[in-house]
A and B are shown apart, each in its own frame.
Chain A
Amino acid sequence: MLGSSVEIRNVDKFFGDFQALDKVNLQIKRGEFFSLLGPSGCGKTTLLRIIAGLEYPDSGDVLFDGISVVSIPANKREANTIFQNYALFPHLTVFENIAFSLRLKKMSENEIREKVEKLINLVRLEGQENKKPIQLSGGQRQRVAIARALANEPKVLLLDEPVSALDAKLRQELLLELDNLHDQVGITFIYVTHDQAEAISVSDHVAVMNNGRIVQIGTPYEIYESPADRFVATFIGETNLMKAEVVDVNDEFIRVIAKGLGEFSCYKDKEVSKGDKILLTLRPEKIKISTKPLEGINSFHGVVEEEIYMGYQTKYFVRLDEGYILKIYKQHVNYLLDEKIIHWKDEVFVTWNPNDSFIVEVEKG
């Protein structure tokens, strides 16, 4: 199977007065695993339904392999959908659900049998052929939905929050399976989710959406490490947001002064000038914490206000001397046996590399 490239051009969609999509542009490469990520109501599902042909854009265009498909109805588009609740046909068996599109194509009984069996093997549903959807577990239902969609040999597979109805552990498993499946079938996957962890763990590219707009498109790494704005920074993972004023500008770095923190350096990833008010984001795991004084350009002293033990790491909330509360994740590595475990009310030293903070908003001063 071969996937299609998908392009969205200037798509607008209104539901009454509500604008669900606002000038959306997207380019998805052939065979990519692409995620649409955003909070509920951001328009990601609407966009998916427009790609599927279940909704029509009010303006703009949708192209598969460079050819407009807007005028092609859902039943003729080479895209198939895994619905959020799987939408299996309750009156048909697993076998017949998967064979549904094949029967519409009037294939011979032998061909159908052969094809369905292949798909059943692919999604590992052997022995469940004659069960009705109601007799299956959530994970099995999802697999039927996938097999049913793949049976139609789509060039694009659209997945609408396919694992959201499952419990956390199963979700991880199925996500991994989806990833493997994607590698096997090689078609384009467009995956809609509100869960940033899902999106960044499986996707080649992620588009983050908010209020009907695409805020950032990039690889999971780019999205996480250099969020384009405050929304992306806070929506994906946890972060420390710091308001600061630029006091000095160099070639690569700037000096800023922030209330509650004092003066420190950071990487100049956006063009700023002296006097600008900026918003910085700094991921909690980038900060080093120790009971001993630490060397570094950005070094602060504070007291642990709260400590949350999470097994693989501990979350600390450290109140700096000047009042700012910094969120810090510390992995439990313990290379040095003499390193003291930090506890509540301990006095600590913290530091971070100026390269690790990013400017997400600039207000010219």
Chain B
Amino acid sequence: MKKFWITLILVVIVIIVTIVAIPKKKVLYIYNWEEYIPQEVIESFEKEYNCTVVYDSFASNEEMYAKIKAGGSGYDIVFPSGDHVSIMKKEGMLLKLDLSKIPNFKYLDENVLNKTTYDPNHEYSVPYMLGSTGICVNKKYVKDYKHSWSIYEDERLKGHMTLLDDMREVLGGALKYLGYSVNTTNPDEIEQAKNLVLKWKQNIVKFDASSYANGIVNGEYWVVHGYAEDIFQRVPEGEEENYDFFIPEEGGTLWIDNMVILKDAKHVDLAYKFINHILDPKNAALIADFLGLPSPNVEARKYITTEPIYTIEELKNCEFIEDVGEYIDLYNKAWQEIIM
């Protein structure tokens, strides 16, 4: 028993010493999507401001939101998608931004800034990246297909395809294919979308948000619905042409990921500096190259060395997923009937 107490006391001392000793350097706590910022951009920030950046990652907006909502997360900057910016804004979780502290804000593309319907005046959020979920085809296995959602009706591909395990993304795709808005609140349109997805379900292996990217790269799946950057980060060098990532011609959902500072952030100054650092054209270019996505930073486009997987131009038919308020229950009900 004595030994136990001694061990316990030692452990407590070690923990206290660690807590007290480390914060001599300032620490910025970031909560972001996995592998979403290249390491060199973080390192240059740490060097410039003599601080440490702690980078935690989440796999979905929902996971992030649940954690922040539960309170006491300790994060300073979070990278939510647009719909969650609006939710978090309504829930009073976000700090109102002082744009004068972010001089590089001026480099952002007007076209992008106009699309932020969730925060039209940029009081709470700064766009980080934008893009669309799309469909990726492994051309080694699939030769003839159309750039359309109808690929999910192709019975020859039965057992080789996945759709995202994401209610709004999947129903959104179906709504677009039917010619409706991804933010519809019309129960009939949602019902039609549900029936369409049920048809697609016959041909897919599973609804998958966690292993599709690995799956398409190792040949497990031939057609997947997902995020381009997830997939291309895993494609081996030189094999990129085997993978055709496209935005269906009917359009799809648009996403904009944003930087926000939490209301209970403890390192607000450092957070502003970090956002400004990200918007620095050279850094923004590094990020766009790293992700293979079009940059919302006009000035950055001068420094970009790799061609993005798709251009902002191709996103014209895409629609931003908005918070539909209580109508979400219509979607929930439809989705439940699909997956259960």
A and B touch in the complex (CB under 8 A): no
